[in-house]
C-alpha cells in the first residue's frame, strides 16, 4: 500500500494488463484513423473523370472559338487587300485603255487630217507632216501660198476630236 491508502496496481495484475491493452488499442486506433487516406469510391472516381472531361471540352471549345475568330479576322483582312488590289488593277486597266484610246484617237485624227489635205489640189499630204497629241494637231512643211496654208488649218479644225491646230506651214516659192 502507498501513502494514500490505496494499493498501487502492479503490472502483473489482470486489471492493469487489460487497461494497458485498452489504452494501447485506443491509441493505435486513433493514430490509424488520423493518418488514414480514404480511397475514393468508384462513383467518386467517375464523377472526377466526368468533371475533368467537361473542363477539357470547355477549354477546347474556347480555344476553337478563339482560333475561328482569328481566322475570320485574317480572312477579312485578306479579302480587303484582294479587293484593293483588284480595284487598283481595274483602275490601271482603265487608265491603260484610256491611254490606248487616246493614242488611237490621235492616230485617227492624224489619218483624217492627212486624208483631208490629200484631197486638196494645192496641198500635198506627202510633204506636210501632221502630228497629233491629245487632240492638238501640229502642221509642218511647205504650203504653196497663204490661201493653201489657211485651208490646211481649216481642214484640220474640221476633223472631229481636234482641240487645237498649230499651223507651222511655211509658204514656199514655187
95-104 own/partner pairs: CB under 8 Å, 24+ apart: 102/134
**Confidence band of 162 (pLDDT split at 50, 70, 90):** very high
Question: Residues 90-109: pLDDT tens digits?
Answer: 788 788 767 666 666 888 89
In a domain, 141, yes or no: yes
- Residue pair 158/137 in contact (Cβ under 8 Å)? The answer is no
In a domain, 160, yes or no: yes
Please count the structural domains in the chain: 1
Q: Supply the CATH number for residue 119's domain.
A: 3.30.300.130
**Confidence band of 31 (pLDDT split at 50, 70, 90):** low
Beta bridge partners of 136: 133, 164
**Confidence band of 122 (pLDDT split at 50, 70, 90):** confident
In a domain, 86, yes or no: no
Q: What is the pLDDT of residue 42?
A: 82
Alpha-helical regions (H) of the chain: 14-35, 42-119, 146-157
- This prediction's pTM: 0.44
Range of the domain at 159: 104-171
In a domain, 6, yes or no: no
Amino acid at each position: 500500500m502507498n501513502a494514500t491508502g490505496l494499493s498501487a496496481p502492479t503490472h502483473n495484475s489482470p486489471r492493469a494488463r487489460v487497461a494497458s491493452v485498452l489504452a494501447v488499442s485506443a491509441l493505435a486506433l486513433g493514430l490509424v484513423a488520423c493518418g488514414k487516406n480514404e480511397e475514393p469510391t468508384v462513383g467518386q472516381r467517375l464523377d472526377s473523370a466526368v468533371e475533368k472531361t467537361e473542363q477539357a471540352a470547355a477549354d477546347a471549345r474556347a480555344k476553337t472559338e478563339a482560333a475561328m475568330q482569328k481566322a475570320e479576322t485574317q480572312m477579312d483582312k485578306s479579302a480587303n487587300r484582294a479587293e484593293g488590289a483588284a480595284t487598283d488593277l481595274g483602275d490601271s486597266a482603265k487608265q491603260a485603255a484610256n491611254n490606248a484610246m487616246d493614242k488611237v484617237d490621235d492616230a485617227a485624227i492624224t489619218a483624217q487630217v492627212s486624208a483631208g489635205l490629200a484631197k486638196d489640189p494645192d496641198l500635198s499630204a506627202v510633204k506636210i507632216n501632221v502630228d497629233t497629241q491629245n487632240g492638238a494637231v501640229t502642221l509642218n512643211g511647205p504650203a504653196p501660198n497663204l490661201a493653201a496654208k489657211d485651208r490646211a488649218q481649216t481642214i484640220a479644225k474640221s476633223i472631229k476630236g481636234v482641240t487645237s491646230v498649230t499651223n507651222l506651214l511655211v509658204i514656199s516659192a514655187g
